[in-house]
Amino acid sequence: MVILLLLLFGESLSEEDGLGGASSASQAIAAQDILAQIRSGEPLDYNNITILGELDLGPAMEPVSQSIKITNSRFQGPVRIEGVTFNEFLDLRRCTFQENVSFIKSRFLGDSKFAGAKFGKQADFAETDFQAAASFISTTFQGDSSFGNAEFDGDAIFMDCNFASDVDFNYAKFLRSGSFLNADFDDVSFFETQFAGQVTFRSAQFKGNATFAATRFESDVLFRAARFWMGSTFGLSSFGGLADYGNVDFNNTAFFGGVKFTDLAYFANARFNGDLILEGARLYSMQLDNATFSESSKINLNSTDFSKFVVHWSTLQSRMVYNGAAYLALVKNYKSLEWFDEADECYYQYRRIGQDQAPWGWGKLSDIISWLSCGYGVRVSYTAFWCLFTILVFGIIFWAGKGMSKFEIEGVELPGDTRLRPSTRVSFTDALYFSIAMFTTSQAPVNTYPVGVYRHLAMAEGILGWFFLGLFVVVLSAVLIR
């Protein structure tokens, strides 16, 4: 019986230590007593207490001149601190807030410390002014939270934060450094947010939709090893420094339409399971080295302006959304990188797709001829093939059809010599030799000549020879001269 009572007592203690409960060792203080002490101007220094009732510091409250330190404590009622100025630091580390919390339009002139705090319901920091360091390390937000229009004049640290529900930082201003290292987000929005200093989202987890639309990153930003489980939107954002997306996982569409990168955009080893949209973006230098894409991924570079785009053509080849200007810009880019083979491959695909989409007419017919004869000017092997093929085909025709005769001469070869004796049939080797001579010089060897209708074929082969040899020289020169 004694053991059973001890077990029941231990369970009751563990329940009281949960969210909204108070351990037996904590002191219970009414919220009105806390308010009275704040109004008196006396510093507050509490640890492991339970605050009962609603804590309401309305806009009419005078600036709080003393420091406030309440740690490891529990607020069982709502906390409403709106439009209040704190001249000294506010320390609420590892506190638990069971009901809604509001710090709307408050000002923190000293450090504000919320590290390890737990917000069980809504947490509203909209239009709050943090003029010193703001620490939310390992803070848990179980309900919706808002930092809309908040201003962080000091360092803003959200390292290891857990946002279990929606959170918005819309129109917020981070005037110094910001850290969201290892932060865990559900749906998050940074619409038109300003980051004046360096900011890191390294190893952050975005489990819902992540919106960074029209966000201004005026210095370096790191998303290295972050993971976007749902859609990620960076449309119309601007990056003034390094944008590091190395080793990032994009499990859905990555939208960078209209983005402006004025420094290096580093996407090496990034993984894209959805589309990468860079339509209308301006890229100074973008690296996609070793980036991987799923089989269904598409890459949209329509109207994209870039100075340097470091990505191998094998990565883009089967994923490019067709746009003539985008293809030609890539060709120019590859030539500036001295990746000439990749420039040729890109140009070849551009012409091939354009030919398939063009309506039938003289333009398409000329494209087909250009494709077959020289691979649009980038395939020397095509022209070499047609040269050899033409020689071989005409050689076979002359040999099989007995289309040429050969003079077997005894002694000195002289025109009209009676010692000239025509043979009945030439060998295949002689026919091939005759075809080569006609193809390259348009003149038959002195001891052979075409007969009958084959004279016209010999003339046609000579014309083809001039065409293909000239084309071969032009295409080969274009390849060698670069």
Whole-number pLDDT of residue 21: 39
- Kindly report which listed range (175-179, 226-230, 313-317) carries the lowest average pLDDT score: 313-317
77 touches 97 (CB < 8 A)? no
Cβ pair 272, 291 in contact under 8 A: yes
* Local confidence band at 476 (pLDDT 50, 70, 90 cut-offs): confident
Work out the mean pLDDT of the chain and round it to a whole number: 88
Going by pLDDT thresholds of 50, 70 and 90, the confidence category of residue 138 is very high
Alpha helices in 183-307 (DSSP H): none
Which tokens in the block code for residue 199? 């900011």
Percent of the chain with pLDDT over 70: 90
Q: Does domain 380-481 correspond to CATH entry 1.10.10? A: no
Looking at the predicted structure, is the pLDDT value of residue 443 above 70? Answer: yes
Determine the Cα–Cα distance for residues 442 and 341; give it in Å rounded to an integer: 35
- Say whether pLDDT at 6 is over 70: no
* Mean per-residue pLDDT, 321-338: 92
What is the mean pLDDT of the segment spanning 362-380? Answer: 88
Whether the pLDDT of residue 4 is over 70: the answer is no
Q: Does the pLDDT of residue 343 top 70, yes or no?
A: yes
Report pLDDT digits (tens) over 66-91: 999 999 999 999 999 999 999 999 99
Q: So what's the pLDDT on residue 22?
A: 39
58 phi and psi, to 5 degrees? -75, 180
What is the per-residue pLDDT across 171-220, written as a single tens digit (0 to 9) for each? Answer: 999 999 999 999 999 999 999 999 999 999 999 999 999 999 999 999 99
Q: Record the tokens describing residue 5, joined without a space.
A: 């009572």
Is this structure's pTM higher than 0.75?
yes
Q: What is the side-by-side order of every strand in the sheet holding 145-146?
A: 55-57, 79-81, 101-102, 123-124, 145-146, 167-168, 188-189, 210-211, 232-233, 254-255, 276-277, 299-300
Checking if the pLDDT of 481 tops 70, the result is yes
H/E element, 116:
none
> How much is the average pLDDT of 8-16?
35
**Closest by CA position to 477, among listed 421, 211, 469:** 469
Question: Could you identify the residue written with the tokens 């939310």?
Answer: 136
Please give the pLDDT value at position 442: 81
pLDDT band at 157 (very low <50, low <70, confident <90, very high): very high
Give the pLDDT band of residue 412 (cuts 50, 70, 90): very low
What tokens appear for 206 in the block? 């975005």
Distance CA(280)–CA(233), nearest Å, equals 14
Distance of CA 401 to the CA centre of its chain: 63
Most confident of 162-166, 393-397, 438-442, 471-475: 162-166
What is the pLDDT averaged over residues 98-109?
96
